[in-house]
Chain A
Amino acid sequence: MSDLDIFNRRLDELEKLPLLKNEISISKALEQSGFSRRDFMKWACAMTAFLALPASFTPIVARAAELSDRLPVIWLHMAECTGCSESLLRTDAPTIDSLIFDHISLEYHETIMNAAGWQAEHNLESAMEKYKGRYILMVEGGIPTGDTEHYLTIGPHGKSGKQIAEQACDNALAIFAIGTCSAFGGIQAARPNPSNSVSLSKITNKTVINVPGCPPSEKNIIGNVIHYILYQTLPALDAYNRPKWAYALRIHDLCERRGRFDAGEFVHQFGDEGAKKGYCLYKVGCKGPYTFNNCSKERFNQHTSWPVQAGHGCIGCSEPDFWDTMGPFEEVMAGRLFDTVYGLGADNISDKIGIGVLCVTGVAVAAHAVIASLEKNKD
């Protein structure tokens, strides 16, 4: 059986599920929002490419999107800054991606929902009950644990964030940790982590798909949902449970300044002549060579820009513990301690998975830069 057949069979199964709350279908909603079928197919085509599927899959992706209205979503806020919600709600709100996101029926989301207090708590509890085993859980923020678990409480019953997240995980169909805080603990988990905040994956035995980034792009969030509907299984994940389709390449691999790197042309100081000419930012601390994400391809705010385009290096925000391992953000990684005065040196944390690899990459990149620069000097 071909992949196409498998997908179609899965979509057939999904189609048999009832619509949420007998709402209008997503295709109707699209129509009402002024999107033509042609616009929709264009979007599906782009999303197909985004998911690294062959072009023949475009109709399948379109169908998957249309069937996303069978999926209720519960979004929880833990220890966070709301940047991930903002990313989702503010930058792309009226686009097709967002419409689909809205349409998969956000049963609970504190930043946009109208209900407050008791009514809000009831909404959450009844959604978890009504859609038991059927809802998609998305969590934003790190989760305080241990003696400091109650540093986060929500609702009139004063439940801890951890209790609520655990309960929501138990009955979820699929679980996504949205943003670096939920995926890896994030900034509150940075040294010395005074609230003992942990990633979502540390409080549940179920598989958590990590969608890191500070914040992640909306496309990475939506793409995961579409992917889930298509395959009905978890996507291929890397060592940090990030979907490979979005996080397999380094920022460096597709960087618009890569040619400058290869030519050995570097910015040495922000605002210098090299900065005006768009030289490579590696020597002012760009962490693109150590960071796995698709920013250099997708950019932000409808392709308006991204950090490297705006002349600042990548700070590595989709990597685990990047606050502790990637700083100082405006200095090269190779050959320095991870903390200048009080803290740990590089050796103390190199046993953590990946850091060693990154250091090796760092050395390789530095060597590459040296070679490139020698080559250039020869010219």
Chain B
Amino acid sequence: MSKRIIIDPLTRIEGHLRIEVVVDENNVVKEAYSGSTLWRGLETIVKGRDPRDAGFLTQRVCGVCTFSHYRAGIIAVEDALGITPPLNAVLTRTLMNAALYMHDHPVHFYQLHGLDFVDVVSALSADVKKASDEAFKYTDIPYATGADKLLEVKQRLKTFVDKGNLGPFANAYYGHATYRFTPEQNLIALSHYLECLRIQRTIAQAMAIFGAKNPHPQSLTVGGVTCVMDLLDPSRMAEYMTKFQEVADFINRAYYPDLIMAAKAYSKEASVLNDVGVNNFYTEREFQVSSDEWLFEGGIIKNGDLSKVEEVDEAKITEEATRAWYADNEALHPYDGKTNPNYTGLVDGESIDDKGNMVHSKVFDTKGKYSWIKAPRYENLPMQVGPLANILVNYAKGNKIVVEAVDSFLKATNLPVKALMSTLGRTGARAIEAKIVADHGLKAFNSLVENLKTDESTCATYVIDKNKEYKGRFIGSAPRGALSHWCRIKNGVIENWQAVVPSTWNASPKDANGVGGSYEQCLIGMKLADVKQPLEVIRAIHSYDPCIACAVHVMDTKGNNLSEYKVNVNL
């Protein structure tokens, strides 16, 4: 008999996400549904406003990828108006973006995703000396894993556990059958968990040097950047460089080696080598490090075939809402999309609770609509986006930096390239991407310093002609994958805005053909050790680094009458 498991809220992510899976009598997942349970309608709110304000509004799509949507909102308007920002501004944005990636990826691994791999309590039985030796297997210069340091970490943990105060570690699935680290490996990871809490503050400061604050930096403007005083101040520049290097060091000596350790330890665990989900991969060009050089190229891989990479044709991107809570179902290009909310709600049903009982629950209407996330498609195909797509496409394209990084990761882990197409691969690819940014991001810094010697311009001038119509877009990448924002400007104000974001691609519900996004597809066929503790499902979904506020948006291009929205008289 099939049984339904609901995970809502799926915690340790950004936003409100519900996953429902249906398992058979052997606890094998037969069907999966992914849906968001919050709608805010930011793209509707951007309409009618000054285009110069758009970036500030789109930034509030998400406080986690806090720079991505800000930059995207600004660049979409620049593209529409035909503005080329000065190189200094472009490179400053790259430096802020590098800080974002170097913040986001380690924090995702240690604070959000790591506990899916690390059994914290097991670290209590670690042999400190053995753990210290173990760390040398993954790097020549281990980070914060000397025997004395590990002893300190272990004692801190012991005090926590003895007093029954596990803090953020409380209520995890300790002792779950799919944990694979030895106690010593768990202790190494725990030490780095604590170090990451410190280091993530440093890299947030690095962004704030040019960005004013983090989250929600405030130094980009249509035409360039405003932090000219910081750029012309050598002490501020040195501050950025120093903080960058300090965090790059953590990535190279802690985060990246830990992923090698994880890849080796988990290489026999079926639930992390599960189906990759969608095996079509899509990424966009990102990280401009000089006037004509980018760290990553864009491209499309279909059916997991690494021998062929297609160039991206943005005309082939569509979104549809057959199974999403919007009125208009048909697949339309982002410039031509239209949508009105059509919330049909959850329905009465049953699911297994945390005691194993079947209980009354509100469940997805799986025959109808069940998510606020739409279904973006490329040539009608679902795509997987994110660091894995980025690394695979650039590897297949022969991007020298990426080939070198991937080959050395595979060599260190004894894994074939095919093994990357999995939950484990998604997590590993994120570390590879972070390492590439850490190793090569300062190219942008050096280019900036060189350029500032002869050019102090930081902002292009422009005019917005109220009698002209404009349209433009940003296409690039965020830490979670390919990101695009599309806008139209008319009468001097925003006429239309929409965003096609990484988590929309990955968390997509089923489309008109019944084909789901990568979250849903990667769960099918997974066997759960214990239906009361669906750790395997949570681990697989966390490997995408879900960012759900980003994914929930409304497309609204043509003739959407705002008066159709219910106006609450009590407001």
A residues bordering B, Cβ < 8 Å? Answer: 21-24, 32, 77, 79-87, 89-95, 102, 110-120, 122-123, 142, 144-148, 150-158, 161, 186-188, 190-198, 202, 214-215, 269-271, 275-276, 278, 299-302, 304-312, 315, 323, 327-331, 339-343
Given A270-B458, A340-B493, are A194 and B44 also a contact pair (CB < 8 Å)? yes
Across the interface, do B115 and A275 meet the contact criterion of CB distance under 8 Å? Answer: no
Which of chain B's residues have a CB closer than 8 A to the CB of A343? 48
> Which A residue sits closest to B360, measured CB to CB?
A157
30 chain-A/chain-B pairs, Cβ below 8 angstroms? A23-B165, A81-B63, A81-B64, A82-B14, A86-B63, A86-B215, A90-B214, A111-B14, A113-B170, A115-B171, A119-B354, A151-B38, A156-B361, A187-B60, A191-B48, A192-B44, A192-B565, A193-B565, A194-B45, A195-B39, A202-B570, A215-B63, A269-B459, A270-B226, A304-B208, A311-B219, A311-B225, A311-B228, A315-B218, A339-B48
How long is the Cα–Cα vector from A110 to B50 in the complex, in angstroms? 35
B260 to chain A, nearest CB (A): 25
Distance (whole angstroms) from the CB of A129 to the closest CB of chain B: 17
Q: How many residues of B contact A (CB 8 A)?
A: 106
Contact flags B42-59 to A (C-beta < 8 A → 1, else 0) = 101100111011001100
Query: Which A residue's beta carbon lies closest to that of B211?
Result: A310
Contacts of A91 in B (CB 8 A): 201, 204-205, 214
Partner of A215, one of B8, B215, B459, B567: B215
CA distance A87 to B571 in the complex (A): 29
Within 8 A of A (CB), among B1-27: 5-16
Separation in Å of the B207 CB from the closest CB of chain A? 8
Task: Determine whether the beta carbon of B107 is less than 8 Å from that of A152.
Answer: no
Decide: A117 and B63 in contact? CB cutoff 8 A.
no
Which of A151, A340, A343 lies at the interface centre, i.e. has the most chain B CB atoms within 10 A of its CB?
A151
Q: Nearest residue in B to A91 (C-beta to C-beta)?
A: B204
C-alpha spacing A320/B361, complex, angstroms: 38
- Distance of B99 from chain A, by nearest CB (Å): 11
Bound CA span A194–B46, Å: 12
CB distance from A220 to the nearest CB of B (A): 13
Closest to A272 in B: B459
Of the listed stretches B314-322, B341-349, B382-390, name the one at the interface; the rest are far from the partner chain.
B341-349
B33 CB, nearest partner CB in chain A, Å: 14
Cα A194 to Cα B45 in complex, Å, equals 8
Q: Of B156-164, B275-283, B479-487, which stretch is located at the interface?
A: B156-164
Residue of A whose beta carbon sits closest to that of B200: A90
**Closest Cβ of chain B: how far from A303's Cβ, in Å?**
9
**Docked CA distance A369–B571 (Å):** 37
Q: Which residue of B is nearest A186, CB measured?
A: B60
Shortest distance from the beta carbon of A119 to any chain B beta carbon, whole Å:
5
Query: Contact: B346 with A271, CB < 8 Å?
Result: no
In the complex where A148-B566, A197-B40 touch, is A329 in contact with B212 (Cβ < 8 A)? Answer: no
Tell me how far the C-beta of A284 lies from the nearest C-beta in chain B, rounded to whole angstroms.
8
In the bound assembly, the distance between CA atoms of A304 and B219 in angstroms comes to: 14
Is B456 located at the chain interface by the 8 A CB criterion?
Answer: yes
The chain A residue with its CB closest to the CB of B7 is: A117
Chain B residues whose C-beta falls within 8 Å of the C-beta of A309 in the assembled complex: 212, 229-230
Contact of A92 with B201 at beta-carbon distance under 8 Å, contacts A114-B170, A120-B9 already known = yes
Contact check, B10 vs A328: say whether CB atoms are below 8 A apart: no
Contact with A along B206-228 (1 / 0, CB 8 A): 00111111111111010111111
B197 proximal to A (CB < 8 A): yes
Report the 10 A-B pairs with minimum CB-CB distance, sorted nearest first. A83-B63, A158-B362, A271-B459, A300-B213, A311-B226, A310-B212, A194-B41, A328-B50, A146-B568, A310-B219
| A142→B39 CA distance, assembly (Å) | 11
Q: How far apart are B195's CB and chain A's nearest CB, in angstroms?
A: 10
Given the complex of chains A and B, what is the CA–CA distance between A343 and B232 in angstroms?
41
Q: Residue on B with the closest CB to A295?
A: B213
Question: B252 on the interface (CB 8 Å rule)?
Answer: no
**B interface majority secondary structure:** loop
Q: In the complex, A120→B8 CA distance in Å?
A: 8
Q: Does B168 contact A (CB under 8 A)?
A: yes
Assess whether B204 is in contact with A312, with CB atoms less than 8 Å apart: no
Q: Is A114 within 8 A of B361, CB to CB?
A: no
B123 at interface (Cβ–Cβ under 8 A)?
A: no
Distance A82 CA – B353 CA, assembled complex (angstroms): 27
Cβ A90 vs Cβ B107 within 8 A: yes
A22 neighbours in B (Cβ, 8 Å):
163-164
**Which residues in B have their C-beta under 8 angstroms from that of A21?**
164-165
Query: Min CB distance, A287 to chain B, in Å?
Result: 12
Q: Which of A22, A190, A299 has the most CB of B within 10 A?
A: A190
Known: A215-B63, A342-B493. A23 touches B14 (CB 8 A): no
* Bound: A349/B204 CA distance, A: 38
User: Is A187 a contact of B57 with CB atoms below 8 Å?
Assistant: yes
Which residue in A83, A102, A115, A196 is a CB contact (below 8 Å) of B566? A196
B351 at the interface (CB under 8 A from A): yes
Cα A118 to Cα B159 with chains together (Å): 29
B159:A329 contact, CB within 8 angstroms: no
Q: Which A residues are in CB contact (< 8 Å) with B37?
A: 152-154
A7 to chain B, nearest CB (A): 28
CB distance from A221 to the nearest CB of B (A): 14
Q: Known interface pairs A82-B63, A87-B215, A270-B459. Does A192 touch B208 (Cβ–Cβ under 8 Å)?
A: no
Residues of B within 8 A of A198 (CB): 568, 571
Specify which of B156, B343, B459, B554 is in contact with A150 (CB 8 Å cutoff). B343
Q: How far is the CB of A237 from chain B (nearest CB, A)?
A: 22
Contact flags B496-540 to A (C-beta < 8 A → 1, else 0) = 000000000000000000000000000000000000001000100
**Beta-carbon contacts of B454-469 to A below 8 Å, as 1s and 0s?**
0011110100000000
Q: How far is the CA of A249 from the CA of B485 in the complex (A)?
A: 38
* Residues of B with C-beta under 8 A to A306: 212-213
Given contacts A90-B214, A192-B45, contact A81 B566 (CB under 8 A): no
Residues of chain B lying within 8 A (CB to CB) of residue A114: 11-12, 115, 168-172
Instruction: Answer whether residue B111 sits at the interface, using C-beta atoms and an 8 A cutoff.
Output: yes
Contact between B103 and A194, CB atoms less than 8 A apart: no
In the bound complex, what is the Cα–Cα distance between A202 and B63 (angstroms)? 24
In the assembled complex, how far is the CB of residue A62 from the closest CB belonging to chain B, in whole angstroms?
22
Whether B125 sits at the interface, judged by CB under 8 Å, is: no
| B16 in contact with A276 (CB, 8 Å) | no
> Chain A contacts of B50 at CB under 8 A?
327-329, 331, 340
**Alpha-carbon distance A312/B221, docked complex (angstroms):** 8
- Flag if A158 contacts B45 (CB, 8 Å): no
Sample of 12 more A-B contacts, CB < 8 Å, known A93-B198, A339-B48: A93-B200, A117-B534, A118-B354, A145-B568, A151-B341, A156-B361, A271-B459, A301-B204, A307-B213, A312-B219, A312-B227, A342-B493
Distance, CA A306 to CA B229, complexed state (A): 13
In the complex, the answer to whether B11 meets A115 with C-beta atoms within 8 Å is yes
Q: How far apart are B555's CB and chain A's nearest CB, in angstroms?
A: 13
Task: Give bound CA distance, A298 to B461, whole Å.
Answer: 33
Residue contact A271 to B458, C-beta cutoff 8 Å: yes
Question: A147-B566, A310-B218, A315-B218 in contact; A117/B9 too (CB < 8 A)?
Answer: yes
- Please tell me if the beta carbons of A327 and B168 are within 8 angstroms of each other in the complex: no
